[in-house]
Structure 1
Amino acid sequence: MKIAIVGAGYVGLVTGACLADFGHEITCVDSDASRVAALQRGEIPIYEPGLKELVASNEAAGRLVFSGDLAVAADAEVVFLAVGTPSRRGDGHADLTHVHAAARALAQHLSGFTVVAIKSTVPVGTGDAVAAIIAEANPAADFVVVSNPEFLREGAAIEDFKRPDRVVVGLEDERGRAPMAEVYRPLYLNQAPILFTGRRSAELTKYASNAFLAMKVTFINEMADLCEAAGGNVQDVARGLGLDKRIGSKFLNAGPGYGGSCFPKDTQALVRIGEEFGAPMRLVETTVAINEARRGAMADKIIAACDGSVAGKTIAMLGLTFKPNTDDMREAPSIAIIGALQAAGAEIVAHDPEGMAAAQGLLPDVAMAAGPYEAAAGADALVLMTEWNAFRSLDLARLKASMRGDVIVDLRNIYRHEEMERHGFRYDSVGRPVAGMVGAE
């Protein structure tokens, strides 16, 4: 099939590369001329494992091209809208400026019957609005609008696209069913279910999925607080929960709270959608509030581990991105936690395998180190913020020798108390009892 994708950001680029790898003819269109030029040179603007190689191989095969001219969509059978929908400043609603602009611009180039598939995360009713915009801009256009939300995890996006748990397609016109089934026909070999729903149901499914996962993260974080107070071990509790097939083990890792490009904005947007329709999302509202408060609680935890004060002390921060295998710093917990520590008088030295370039603009007063041991050199305390593989097997003897202090705060529960204490560290983690308490390791 000939497919055009409007927007060559994270979602558009992953979608385009994967669909090209399925054998479709893909043109990714972006209004940012510098981004298009970089992609044409083989430069990938984001870090996603395997994406650079996938783009290069499909460009070489002639199945994937990049353009700044939306006219290339004229002969496409399906056009995906994959532009950004950030939180609108001030009220948390999804900002649909780019979606509406893309629909209006696309309308002028539609030729023959076309399926316009909204891949962007958008509030319920957006499909109706996009259909109205296109019809007004080009009354002669023959098209249908469908909702096809993405469910990609940063760091595992290619695997998620090629082996999805499900593909959701929302439509109001049955003419959109066969083209969308053909887009995803290669997935039939993997027996991935394709769920056809109404358009508004598909739009809500995306928000419901992310909000539920955000609530799951927040729930285990609250359980971690209870475990610390009561002498339990949150990892044992999480295992006990996760073995129940009705619950499952994913997203039950206690830590500093969720971040990234999806959970924060999508939970806020769902709260606003609920308000708009008079159906309050009270669980989601509480989830948002708890997650925002958790960053301050984690900063307090670090300060408490440093004998109640970080004034004049150097804190080494290992990891800055909101999760490993991405360079995404959007809503990363590290930003607020570092800000609180700096406000309390600490100097921060940090290392992240992929996120330091993006972090420098957000954290200009943080010194960036070439590696974990360079970050730890002379530090009074060390904080494990992101569970990158590079931080899972640190040479603890070397770390201890390079640090001035002996405090390690592990916000991802990578290590065990006993091994840290054996190397002379004062160690604190999340939701696990300290040595000497009932239930301690």
Structure 2
Amino acid sequence: MRISIIGSGYVGLVTGIGFVKLGNEVIFVDIDERKIEMINNAQPPIYEEGLEELMREFKGKYRATKDYRDAILNSEVTFIAVGTPSREDGSIDLTYVKQAAEEIGKILKEKDNYHVVVVKSTVLPGTTENVVKPILEKESGKKAFEDFGLAMNPEFLREGVALKDFLNPDRIVIGVQDERTKKVLEELYKPIDAPKLFTDIKTAEMIKYASNAFLATKISFANEIGNICKKLGIDSWKVFEGVGLDHRISPHFFRTGIGWGGSCFPKDVKALIRKAEEIGEDPIILKAVVEVNEKQPLKLIELLKKHVPELRDKRIGVLGLAFKPNTDDVRETRAYVIVKKLLEEGAKVLAYDPQAMENFRRFYPDVGEQIEYVSSGKEVLERSDAVLIVTEWPEFEELDYSGKIVIDGRRVRKAEETAEVYEGVCW
């Protein structure tokens, strides 16, 4: 099948290359000339395990362009995979989704064939039908579900293992209204062996938000229990090993530590809170989930000050800047909160991350320009008075922490075994 994907960020690029591997041809549309050039040269503009290899292997089966007309006239299905960032009040910003819908609508006007438009961007329930559909109809002069197809297909990709998740998902959720669109998407996803849940469009939108909100809740719940365990001298990881053996609960997402970040959980939970308040609901649990998460990274600083009471002019090493390992994504990373607090306390910060140092410097200029970036975890240990572990990169398990004060937010076992002074956040 011929597919066009609007937006070649994390979701768009991984989705597109995944479809290429399944035997389709893909055209990416983006406004960023640098991204377009990199994609056309088989160079991923993001770090994701296995992505570069696939892009090289299937070069010629995909291309990138700024030209909507070229992409849509030469495809049968178009996915909208643009960003939906948060506004200051936590509400969702649909600027890019609206722009994409306008451009797609203009080209649909020229098409005689039945073209399917699929919203893959994370949008609140009602957005596809109440925002995207009217724009497409206005710009094209055509009727949705009659002259062109419209569907909602949320993504459930975990950064770091996103390609694996695309090709081997837990489930595929598709919100559709008309049978013709359903058949197109059934055919497109036929090679993937996973449960396929067809719902109405609003339900598909809500499944995405409910999933992320629940996972965020599970982490914050674990961290709240973990904070209690720490004060009682109990290892919270052992507690949740026992809790997770209950088949009704499962062990996943019970890794206590310094909380969640990234591009999805913070944005989606806040957007859901804002939407609930707009319709007259008070989402007490979700508000508490966010509150626990915002406080959690500062537990590292509290523990550090037990051993280094005065941080001014002390050299504090930070291992990890990405919000999780195996990605260069620093959006909503817990490292930002921690580094900012260290600088406020007058500490000199030395930081190392295998992939995310340049992104951290660029994304957080208020703190990123004030810290020293070093070439390895070994150098961090050699030059620091104390070390904070913020991201659990596998290579941090290979370091020698002997003679060091280590405050661990992610449970790196080698640090626990070898550090002279070791404190875990929740253990």
Of residues 19-28 and 357-366 in structure 1, the stretch that sits farther from structure 2 once superposed is 357-366
- SS of the residue aligned with 2:297? helix
- SS of the residue aligned with 1:315? strand
Report what 1:25 is aligned to: 25
Distance 2:411 2:53 in 1: 33
Task: Kindly indicate whether residue 164 of structure 2 is the aligned counterpart of residue 159 of structure 1.
Answer: yes
Is the Cα contact below 8 Å between 1:409 and 1:427 reproduced in 2? yes
Amino acid at match of 2:68: L
- SS of the residue aligned with 1:431? coil
1:22-421 → structure 2 map (5 Å cutoff): 22-59=22-59, 62-71=60-69, 72-88=71-87, 90-110=88-108, 111=111, 112-128=113-129, 129-140=131-142, 142-187=147-192, 190=193, 192-306=194-308, 308-361=309-362, 362=364, 363-397=368-402, 400=403, 406-415=404-413, 419-420=417-418
Distance 2:141 2:302 in 1: 59
Is the Cα contact below 8 Å between 2:300 and 2:388 reproduced in 1? no
- SS of the residue aligned with 1:201? helix
Of residues 377-386 and 207-216 in structure 1, the stretch that sits farther from structure 2 once superposed is 377-386
Amino acid at match of 2:422: Y
**1:418: how far off?**
6.8
RMSD over aligned Cα atoms: 1.4
Is the Cα contact below 8 Å between 1:305 and 1:428 reproduced in 2? no
Distance 2:416 2:325 in 1: 25
- SS of the residue aligned with 2:191? helix
Q: Which runs of 5+ in 2 are unaligned?
A: none
Report what 1:3 is aligned to: 3
Is the Cα contact below 8 Å between 1:241 and 1:249 reproduced in 2? yes
Q: Deviations over 1:326-345 (max 9, x none)?
A: 00010100101111011111
**1:175: how far off?**
2.1
Q: Which runs of 5+ in 1 are unaligned?
A: 401-405, 433-441
Distance 1:416 1:78 in 2: 49
Amino acid at match of 2:56: A
**1:301: how far off?**
2.3
Is the Cα contact below 8 Å between 2:4 and 2:26 reproduced in 1? yes
Distance 1:272 1:12 in 2: 26
Distance 1:279 1:114 in 2: 38
Q: 1:417 to 1:381 in 2, by over 3 A?
A: closer
How many residues align? The count is: 415
Q: Deviations over 1:352-395 (max 9, x none)?
A: 00011111222111100100111222311011111000001212
Q: Deviations over 1:142-167 (max 9, x none)?
A: 21211100000000000000000000
Q: Deviations over 1:392-416 (max 9, x none)?
A: 121234xx3xxxxx31111111127
**1:297: how far off?**
3.0
Q: Deviations over 1:91-123 (max 9, x none)?
A: 111110000110001111122211110000011
Distance 2:322 2:149 in 1: 39
Distance 2:376 2:262 in 1: 23
Is the Cα contact below 8 Å between 2:381 and 2:401 reproduced in 1? no
Is the Cα contact below 8 Å between 1:47 and 1:326 reproduced in 2? yes
**1:284: how far off?**
0.9
Distance 1:102 1:13 in 2: 16
**1:42: how far off?**
2.5
Distance 1:313 1:276 in 2: 47
Distance 1:40 1:277 in 2: 45
Is the Cα contact below 8 Å between 1:305 and 1:409 reproduced in 2? no
Is the Cα contact below 8 Å between 2:31 and 2:66 reproduced in 1? yes
Distance 1:55 1:93 in 2: 35
Q: Percent identity?
A: 40
- SS of the residue aligned with 1:5? strand
Q: Deviations over 1:3-39 (max 9, x none)?
A: 1111111100000000010001111111222221221
- SS of the residue aligned with 2:383? coil
- SS of the residue aligned with 1:186? coil
- SS of the residue aligned with 1:31? coil
Distance 2:410 2:31 in 1: 39
**1:45: how far off?**
1.0
**1:419: how far off?**
2.6
- SS of the residue aligned with 2:323? coil
Amino acid at match of 1:127: T
- SS of the residue aligned with 2:293? helix
